[in-house]
A and B are shown apart, each in its own frame.
Chain A
Amino acid sequence: MKAGKLSRDGERCVVMGIVTASRIAMACKFEVVALGDDEAYLRAVLERALEEVEQLELQLSPFIADSHLSDINRHAYHRPVKVEPQLFWLLKRAVKIGIETDGAFDITVGALTLTRKRWGSHSDTSTKLYGTETEQDALVGLNWLQLDDDAMTVRFLKEGIAIDLCGIAKGYAVDVVASRLLEAGVDCFFVHGGKSSMRAFGKLPNENAWRIGVTNPAKPSERLAVVELCDGVAVGVSEWCINSVSGKMAHIVDPRAPNRIGNAEDAESSEVLRAYAICGSATDADALSTAFLLLGVDGVKSHCELYESRGAILLIRDGSGVEVLSFGLEGLAEIHRLKNRTSDTVGGDTSS
């Protein structure tokens, strides 16, 4: 435990310290940094919370043959598939975000994505689908998905539909970790999954808030801004990802124009280079960040005006440089744009 500050806990003077724990799950590193006065207790809380992330991967991965999601994808056209309540809640939440973003986030992109990408190193691709790319493009749309609240079942109304939760699962896992830590009485921590989904509670000694760095997508060592997060706030980050070998987009599919998948020119012509969604739930933030990347500046601005509890930071093209725009951050976060952009950021998109 690193040295922290002294704080008064009743009559006892305790040494606060920082404990970090991490696990590889969902093909990325989940990491928690937490502050507390009992290292063994804190470490146990963190380990058990991260263990749940491993279990969530086994449940939510479309690339594990016996995951609950693979089971849905394999059978939901043939019969309603019963799912457990937490997963049913997640599916409902994903559909809600899909509706609120006019389809810019859509979990039924699975018909396209699952045939064309791999989640990390999982090689067991049980959910391989059939058909040409054109046939698969017609398989995207929430209207093909039937969620029965009473029976708690999922059904696909068209053959070939598949769900991909990769755009929301990491955020959900971050929320689960946060929930476990709060239940255990840990109220000062920062958790992230692959640096693309994160959530912060409390603040470190002598700090105003947990901070994340906003870096230039083209120059990761250049920090453009620093964002201070309010208590309990979550951030989701999405950006275009070009496969350096194939030159094709490997990460984001626009469900409203599915034929665009694989066209690297789309990424190059996109107005928004990277989108940060900021709100009170990492589940929502993860999904919203994908949508924000696709909605464009005007679309994101309108969305944040309509949903007051949601904010956004967009990195957009500005000639040969990058401009930082922000919307609706009041009560969620405070952004500090940096004039001197040469920074000490150590790798990654964000830093805390």
Chain B
Amino acid sequence: MTRREFVVSSVTVFTLTSLYAEAQEETKREGKGERIRCGVIGTGIHGRTLLRELMRMDDVEVVALCDIYQPNLERAVKALGKTVNAYSDYRQMLEREKDMQAVIVATPTATHVAISIDALQAGKDVYCEAPLSNEIEECKQMAKVAMASQKVFQVGHQRRTNPLYKHALKFIRGGAIGQPVQARAHYHRKDSLRRPVSDAKYERLLNWRLYRDTSGGLVVEYGSHQLDVINWFLNALPMAVVGDGGIDVWKDGREVPDNVHVLFEYPNGVRVTYTATLGCSYEQNYELILGTMGAMWFSKERLGLWFKEADAPEFGWEIYARKEQLGDTLGIVLDPEASKYAAQLEKGFKPTEKPEAETKNPFYISLSEFFKCIREGKKPTCGVKEALTAAVTAIGARMAIEKGEKITYKREWFEV
């Protein structure tokens, strides 16, 4: 392929002929299951990640895409590889796509609430990326609308639907780590987070994460996911927070800190630390919860280890459990499928076959739950209440960083 062909092939028109549309229609005619017709609003890097998972689902059909930035929209259309209605205005999309049942909102955080409310009011089920908003009042407004709506509203705190975390929660609730004393979460990455902008008029649109009026900074954008886990595992809400941060690494005109650390006070003397930096990738991202009988550590949403104190009770199955070393400590691998394997072995399955194990990735699992809730009329694991507490926790931390003073959380911030 010549360079010219390379460039030309990357510029896609919106009416790509589908190799697969006919097959999909045939499947429909054969009654192999009614597909949920879905649209994606926001087709940047994250939106396309979600789109990639949607395309693997047999029971979902992406019928419309929307982005106000044309190159992102074109990339998504190309990735989809089939005929799709493409919009630059989400209101037009909601109005015209009468048969579209659900929308995925993967736009900049500052637009989540407005778009989600419009979508709910247009009668669509909504999967909105986290965090809910950068502002407490907006979060509460979203909560009111979502709770009054009959439609499914799920927020993409995908750790809530991740089998690893759900598995660990059972142990924590059962007292496996004893009384919680501390928790920690990190987001460490060597990356400017900057999007390339060839025309200055798109700078604030594409680099919204870097500016104060559109971004809550690292603690809101990334911390809200991890702080949500802390709230969930501790079954508590923060009482107060102090923190600071600065633009210490990327002095490129951005307005939000690229290097922050925060300390939270939780009930019963639990101390929580959160750090985020764009200057170093060491330890990348993890959550850690420490208790009087042990600790649990979760790395990048995929690996969970349980470290036990010497005086913690022992269980018979522990000798069979897989263990991994972290530093000088040996931890039990938290495997949500362990019991399933054991049951299958008894039924005669080969140990490595795993025919019934569904270890899809966190995005797939989270989106799957959304569609399952639509089909079965159920409430999602991470609905607006959970998202509200996560966002408010993170927004409080942002306020502490911005003001340089201790912020005491008000109960009403978490209430609808």
Residues of A within 8 A of B (CB): 40-41, 43-45, 47-48, 51-52, 55, 58-59, 64-68, 70-71, 74-75, 78, 82-86, 123-124, 126, 128-130, 149-152, 178-179, 182-185, 187, 201, 231-232, 280-281
Query: Which residue of chain A is the closest to B300 with respect to CB atoms?
Result: A58
Asked if A84 and B6 make an inter-chain contact with CB atoms under 8 angstroms apart, the answer reads no
B195 and A184 within 8 A (CB): no
**B201 smallest CB distance to A (angstroms):** 14
- Measured between alpha carbons, how far is A243 from B52 in the docked complex, in Å? 37
Please determine whether B45 and A130 come into contact, CB atoms closer than 8 angstroms: no
Known contacts being A82-B58, A86-B79, is A130 close to B302, with CB within 8 Å?
Answer: no
User: Beyond the given A55-B49, A84-B79, A126-B359, could you list 20 further A-B residue pairs with CB under 8 A, ordered by the A residue number?
Assistant: A43-B194, A44-B195, A44-B197, A47-B191, A47-B194, A48-B196, A65-B302, A66-B302, A74-B354, A82-B56, A83-B56, A85-B81, A86-B52, A86-B79, A123-B324, A126-B354, A152-B23, A182-B10, A183-B7, A232-B2
Which of chain A's residues has its CB closest to B163's CB? Answer: A66
Find residues 226-245 in chain B having any chain A CB closer than 8 Å to their own CB: none
Alpha-carbon separation in the docked complex, A149 to B19 (Å)? 7
Contact check, B198 vs A152: say whether CB atoms are below 8 A apart.
no
Q: Inside 8 A of B64's CB, which chain A residues have their CB?
A: none
Interface residues of B in 24-46 (CB under 8 A from A): 27, 45
Smallest CB–CB gap between B140 and chain A, Å?
A: 34
Cross-chain contact A281 with B56 (CB below 8 angstroms): no
**Interface residue ranges of B270-289 to A (CB < 8 Å):** none
Q: How far is the CA of A66 from the CA of B301 in the complex (A)?
A: 11
Q: Are A74 and B196 in contact (CB under 8 A)?
A: no
In the complex the two chains form, what is the Cα distance from A48 to B362 in whole Å? 21
- Whether A58 contacts B361 in the complex (CB less than 8 A), given A130-B353, A149-B19, comes out as yes
The answer to whether A85 and B80 have CB atoms under 8 Å apart is yes
Q: Which chain B residues (357-380) contact chain A, with CB distance < 8 Å?
A: 357, 359-362, 364
Q: Which of B301-342 contact A (CB under 8 A)?
A: 302-303, 324
Bound-state Cα–Cα, A206 to B22, Å: 54
Q: Which residues of chain B from 94 to 152 have any CB-CB distance to chain A below 8 Å in the complex?
A: none
User: Please, which residue of chain A has its CB at the minimum distance from the CB of B207?
Assistant: A44
Taken together as a complex, chains A and B put the C-alpha atoms of A273 and B352 apart, in Å, by 36
- Contact of A48 (CB < 8 Å), options: B45, B353, B361, B364: B45
Q: How far is the CA of A58 from the CA of B360 in the complex (A)?
A: 11
Q: Does B350 contact A (CB under 8 A)?
A: yes
Is B3's beta carbon under 8 Å from chain A? yes
Verify A64–B302 contact, CB threshold 8 A.
Answer: yes
Q: List 25 A-B contacts (CB under 8 A).
A: A41-B196, A44-B195, A47-B194, A55-B49, A65-B302, A66-B360, A67-B361, A68-B361, A78-B355, A82-B57, A85-B81, A86-B52, A86-B79, A123-B324, A124-B302, A124-B303, A126-B359, A130-B352, A150-B22, A151-B23, A152-B23, A184-B196, A232-B1, A280-B2, A281-B1
Q: How far is the CB of A351 from chain B (nearest CB, A)?
A: 24
Q: B336 to nearest A CB, angstroms?
A: 11
CA distance A58 to B300 in the complex (A): 12
What is the CA–CA distance of A41 and B200 in the complex, to the nearest angstrom? 11
**Chain B hits for A59, CB < 8 A:** 52
> Cβ of B192 < 8 Å from any Cβ of A?
yes
CB pair A129 B56 closer than 8 Å: no
Q: Which of A47, A152, A201 lies in contact with B192, CB distance below 8 A?
A: A47
Please provide the 7 A-B residue pairs with the shortest distance between their CB atoms, ordered closest to farther.
A85-B81, A150-B23, A66-B361, A44-B196, A84-B55, A44-B194, A45-B196
B412 close to chain A: CB less than 8 A:
no
B20 at the interface (CB under 8 A from A): yes
Closest to B360 in A: A66
**Once bound together, how far apart are the Cα atoms of A78 and B353, in whole Å?**
11
Task: List residues of B whose CB falls within 8 A of some A CB.
Answer: 1-3, 6-7, 10, 19-20, 22-23, 27, 45, 49, 52, 55-58, 71, 79-82, 191-192, 194-198, 252, 302-303, 324, 350-355, 357, 359-362, 364
Q: Are A70 and B56 in contact (CB under 8 A)?
A: no
B192, A44: Cβ atoms closer than 8 Å: yes
Q: Please measure, in the bound complex, the distance between the C-alpha atom of A85 and the C-alpha atom of B80, giving whole angstroms.
A: 7
Determine how close the nearest CB of chain A comes to the CB of B9; give it in whole angstroms: 9
Given contacts A44-B196, A47-B191, A65-B302, contact A74 B357 (CB under 8 A): yes
Q: Please determine whether B198 and A41 come into contact, CB atoms closer than 8 angstroms.
A: yes
In whole angstroms, how far apart are the Cα atoms of A29 and B79 in the complex?
Answer: 26
Give complex CA distance A52, B79 in Å: 13
- With contacts A179-B6, A179-B10 known, is A51 near B354, CB below 8 A? no
A71 to B44, CA, bound (A): 25
- A342 → B minimal CB distance (Å): 37
Cα distance, A129 to B351, chains bound together (Å):
9
A149 CB to closest chain B CB (Å) equals: 6
Can you name the residue of chain A whose Cβ is closest to the Cβ of B365?
A: A66
Assess the B362–A66 pair: CB atoms within 8 A: yes
Complex interface: chain B residues within 8 A of A58 (CB): 361
Smallest CB-CB separation from A231: which chain B residue? B3
Do B3 and A232 have beta carbons less than 8 Å apart? yes
> Which residues of A lie under 8 Å from residue B353 when comparing CB positions?
130
Residues of B within 8 A of A48 (CB): 45, 195-196
Cβ B7 vs Cβ A184 within 8 A: no
B302 to A85, Cβ gap below 8 A? no
Contacts of A52 in B (CB 8 A): 45
Question: Measured between C-beta atoms, what is the minimum distance from B396 to chain A in Å?
Answer: 29
Which chain B residues border A71 with CB–CB below 8 Å? 56, 359-360
Q: In whole angstroms, what is the CA distance A85 to B75 when docked?
A: 13
A75 and B362 CA atoms in complex are apart in Å by 18
Return chain A residues, CB-CB under 8 Å to B355.
Answer: 74-75, 78
C-alpha gap A65/B336 in the complex (Å)? 13
Alpha-carbon distance A281/B45, docked complex (angstroms): 24
- Complex CA–CA separation, A171 to B194 (angstroms): 26
**How close is A124's CB to chain B, nearest CB, in angstroms?**
7
| B359 / chain A contacts, CB cutoff of 8 Å | 65-66, 70-71, 74, 126
Min C-beta distance of A107 to chain B, whole Å: 19
Instruction: Enumerate chain B residues within 8 angstroms of A201, measured Cβ to Cβ.
Output: 3
